[in-house]
Amino acid sequence: MTLNIEALSTRAITTGDIEGKGPRRRDGHKKPVITGILLGILCVLWMTPFVWMALSVTKPTDIAFANPPVYWDYEPTLKAFVDLWETTYFSEYLVNTLVVAVISTILALIIGIPAAYALSRFPSYVSAILLVLALVFRALPRFAVVLPMYDISRALGIYDTTFALALALVAINQPFTIWLLRNFFAEIPRELDEAAMIDGCTRIGMLRRVMIPLMGPGILTAGIFVFLFAFQEYLTALVLTDTSSKTVPVFIATQLGQTLPMLQQAGAASILLTIPVILIAFIAQKYLVAGLSDGAVKG
Amino acid sequence: MKAREFWLLFAPSFVVMSGLLVVPLIRTIQWSFEEVHYGTPGTFVGLDNFVHALTDARFGEAALFTIVVTVITTTILLVLGYIVATGMNRLTLSRPLVLGILLVSYVLPNLVGAVAFSWLVDDNFGGILNRFIGLMGGSQVLWFTDQVPNAILIIANTVWHMLPFAMLIILAGLQGVPVELREAATIDGASPLQTHLHVIIPTIRGVLGFVTLISIMDVLRMFDNLIPLSPQAATIGNESIMLYVYSVAFADGAEQLGLGSAINVLTIILILIMLIPFMRGIFKEAKVAR
């Protein structure tokens, strides 16, 4: 089982025709009807959990979790959302989640871009070893670094702060960040660096003026992924936060197994988290696909 | 690039990773040989924690459950991922739409997806899947308290969460298969099934290996989705290794940090062994680039 890096670098999962163009394509006019129907069924199956959840949270609380379920005979209501906003600290948790995600994205890119560039331009055993280490750290069981972080953050007095959580996530996702960015940098021809340097740019000036503009899509891709990872993170937030920097996934988990209204609020919170994610899946699809097929390592 | 420039650019990332990944990792290794509580220095106990872990029936059960789920899930992901990717490869206009819908389950927090999944099958909440099974003439399934149905639920949720990823990687691989290769196989009289088995799959085996590796790594450390899907994981024997670490080393009142660390170290060793072929790939590439 060896990995062919080249095969993964085909970043071109385009939305267009890929079976070949023009006369080469023999069944060019045949529409894949059966395939379309099967994939349509798959899509419906994939959406079912969300649809059911969205229905459950827009029902009045007394019938939301009734057995047998009430399918359509009810007045839709947004009460669960209002309650979520008014009776819990959801807005604070949402702010915490966003602050953590934004801080960790910015920090991860600031330190990750130069590192990834250096790795892509320094082809020696040093950079191969560092890449392997990045991969190993990417694969570690989360608790192996998070439990000591808990101990250390308590000793330093930064336990339960958004900054500590953001910093932890920067480190945890750094291997993925530099691995992904490095793959993008590797595709920019080296001659460009040399040309800029001959024209009098310093290495860092060249990185800033030539590479970063060229890397726009790559940086956006890495940024979206680091943001999503921070947004999704449950385990790390569970261990490193308590009350003042709690994030939404941790909040949702604590609402489970409580009263039905609280459960419905957890559902409402879940739906609120799902909406931006759906937007990302459609609007930023190009970058998600590029990141998955190029970096291909979820953190 | 000169070595000095390299280290200058790499330094910030290096500092963060050593301070926040390497130092904690060393602490974990150190703890695995100690009897230790949070905030206090531990006492050295040699291999006691490892002996405890390896002789603990509950850990054995957790390891067995995790490995079985990992193997089954990875197999399903590869087969289903390949089939769906082949289908996606035929779509043209509708691809962004289908891709967008499928990607949602992958981009969403794992925990949230698992909560949504649990509502489908929870009888207390009018789980519609149970109604459906009832309509089809099936008997009542105890999704949360019976080991095998619960494991099926967990596997289904993991497949639901990870299939978009597996499918996308395989799709990227399929697009690298030259059209000529398929045509040649057809001209030689190969049936579609033979073309897949003997031409396409061997061509993209690197990509399939990669999906296998990532899938194994991610399913081995499952944790988030078990919180809503298996509230009684320990009693019914569906505890994952990470859930076990959590319950002995972090959950309320649990302070067996040494034992938890020892299990982390054992998991790391297992993962390192699996990574060997992948590391060789990177070194080979470095050699070629030189």
* pLDDT tens-digit map of B88-132: 888 877 888 888 888 888 888 889 999 988 888 887 776 778 778
Q: B209 and A2 in contact by Cβ < 8 A?
A: yes
Q: By C-alpha distance, which of B11, B246, B212, B90 is closest to A117? A: B11
Q: Is the pLDDT of residue A1 over 50?
A: no
pLDDT at B108: 87
Q: Per-residue pLDDT tens for B140-183? A: 778 888 888 899 999 999 999 999 988 988 888 888 788 888 88
Number of domains in chain B: 1
Beta bridge partners of B258: none
Read off the pLDDT band of A298 (50, 70, 90).
Answer: very low
Checking if the pLDDT of A26 tops 80, the result is no
pLDDT of residue A29: 52
Taking the C-alpha atoms of residue B162 and residue B154, their distance in angstroms, rounded to an integer, is 12
Contact between chains at B212 and A114 (C-beta distance less than 8 A)? no
Q: Is residue B53 part of a domain?
A: no
Residues 78-107 of B with CB under 8 A from A: 84, 87-92, 94-96, 98-105, 107
Pick the closest to residue B105 from B133, B84, B91 (CA basis): B84
Closest partner CB to B112 (pick from A66, A274, A292) = A274
Nearest to B13 among A25, A65, A115 (CB): A115
CATH 1.10.3720.10 residue window(s) in chain A: 84-294
Asked if residue B4 is part of any domain, the answer here is no
Which of A273-287, B72-86, B262-276 is modeled with the greatest confidence? B72-86
Whether the full predicted model's pTM is greater than 0.80, yes or no, is: yes
Q: Give domain status of residue B185, yes or no.
A: yes
- Percent of chain A surpassing pLDDT 90: 17
Superfamily for A84-294? Answer: MetI-like (1.10.3720.10)
3-state secondary structure A134-161: HHHHHHCCHHHHHHHHHHHHHHHCCCCC
Report the distance separating Cα A184 and Cα A234, nearest Å.
29
pLDDT value of position A214: 80
CATH number at residue B182: 1.10.3720.10
> B283 in contact with A at a CB cutoff of 8 Å?
yes
Classify B43 as helix, strand or coil.
Answer: strand
Integer Cα distance of A252 and A273 in angstroms: 11
Tell me if B172 is assigned to some domain: yes
Gap from B234 CA to chain A (nearest CA, Å): 17
Mean pLDDT of B3-9: 84
Better pLDDT: B223 or A179: B223
Are B116 and A56 within 8 A, CB to CB?
no
A235: CB partners within 8 A, 6+ apart: A142, A143, A146, B223, B224, B242
Q: Between A and B, how many residue pairs show a Cβ–Cβ distance under 8 A?
A: 350
A132 contacts B282? CB cut-off 8 A: yes
Computed on alpha carbons and rounded to an integer, the radius of gyration of chain B in Å comes to 23
In a domain, B118, yes or no: yes
> Which is nearest to A256 in space by CA: B111, B24, B149, B206?
B111
Q: B180-207: b or e for each residue (b if 16 or more CB lie within 10 Å)?
A: eebeebeeeebeeeebbeebbeebbbbb
Q: Under an 8 A CB cutoff, do A56 and B96 touch?
A: no
pLDDT at A123 over 70: no
Torsion of CA B240, B242, B245, B249, to 10 degrees: -130
Q: Looking at the domain assignment, is residue B250 inside a domain? A: no
A151 with B261: Cβ contact below 8 A:
no
Decide if pLDDT at B237 tops 90.
Answer: no
Task: Look up the domain containing B105 and give its range.
Answer: 72-240
